[in-house]
Structure 1
Amino acid sequence: MNDYLLDLFRDTRIVAKVKNRFPYLFQLAELESSRAGRIGMEVGPVREKVITALLIYKFGEENVEYDLPITEPEIDVKLFNQPISIKTISGKEPSGVKLIWTVDAEKARNFLDTWRPTYDLIFVHVNWSSKGGLYYIPYEVQNTVFNKIGRENHIKLPKQGTNPRGVEISNDALKTLISNDKTKSIEVNWVKESIDYDPFKRWVDLWSEE
Structure 2
Amino acid sequence: MSSYLEQLFDDKNIIARVKDRMPKMFQLAELESSRAGKIGMEVGTARERIIAALLMYKYGEENVGSDLPITESEADVSLFSEKISIKTITGNLSGVKLAWTVDKQKAREFFDKYYPDIDMLLTQIIWGSTGGFIYIPKIVQQDVYKKLGKNKYFKLPKAKTNPRGVELTKRALELMVNDKRSNKIDILWTRGELSYNAYDRWIELWKE
Q: TM-score range by the shorter chain?
A: over 0.9
Question: Where do 1:110-189 residues align within 5 Å?
Answer: 110-189=109-188
- The TM-score normalised by the length of structure 2 is 0.98
In structure 1, the residue matched to 2:78 is 78
For residues 160 and 208 of structure 1, the distance between their equivalents in structure 2, rounded to whole angstroms, comes to 53
Q: Counterpart amino acid of 1:85?
A: S
Q: What SS class does the counterpart of residue 102 from structure 1 fall into?
A: coil
Structure 1: how far apart are the matches of 2:66 and 2:189?
A: 27
Counterpart of 2:53? Answer: 53
Map 1:9-88; keep pairs closer than 5 Å: 9-88=9-88
CA deviation digits over 1:66-86, x for unaligned, max 9? 111101111111101111110
What is the RMSD computed on CA atoms of the aligned residues? 0.7
Give the TM-score, by structure 1 length: 0.97
> Could you give the per-residue CA deviations for residues 22-65 of structure 1, whole angstroms, max 9, x where no partner exists?
11000011111111111111111110000000000011101111
User: Whole-Å Cα distance in 2 between the matches of residues 176 and 117 of structure 1?
Assistant: 15
Find the aligned partners of 1:177 and 1:75 in 2 and give their Cα distance: 18
Tell me the SS of whatever aligns to 2:122: strand
Amino acid at match of 2:70: I
User: Could you say which residue in structure 1 is the equivalent of 2:2?
Assistant: 2
Q: Tell me the SS of whatever aligns to 1:99.
A: strand
For residues 161 and 128 of structure 1, the distance between their equivalents in structure 2, rounded to whole angstroms, comes to 33
CA distance in 2, matches of 1:2, 1:126: 24
What secondary structure, in the 3-state scheme, does the structure 2 residue paired with 1:142 have? helix
The CA distance in 1 between the partners of 2:112 and 2:65, in whole Å, is 30
The DSSP-based 3-state class of the residue aligned with 2:121 is strand
Residue 195 (str. 1) matches residue 198 (str. 2): no
Query: Segments of 4+ in structure 1 off by > 3 A?
Result: none
Q: Residue type of the partner of 2:184?
A: S
CA distance in 2, matches of 1:164, 1:187: 31
Aligned partner of 2:28: which letter? L
What is the deviation of 1:164?
Answer: 2.5
Once the two structures are superposed, residues 159-193 of structure 1 have per-residue CA deviations (whole angstroms, 9 ceiling, x without a partner) of 11111311101111111110111000100000001
Give aligned pairs, total.
208
SS of residue paired to 1:87: strand
Alpha-carbon separation, structure 1, partners of 2:6 and 2:72: 24
- Stretches of structure 2 lacking an aligned partner (at least 5 in a row): none
- Deviations along 1:133-166, one digit per CA (max 9) or x if unpaired, are 0000000000000000001100100111111311
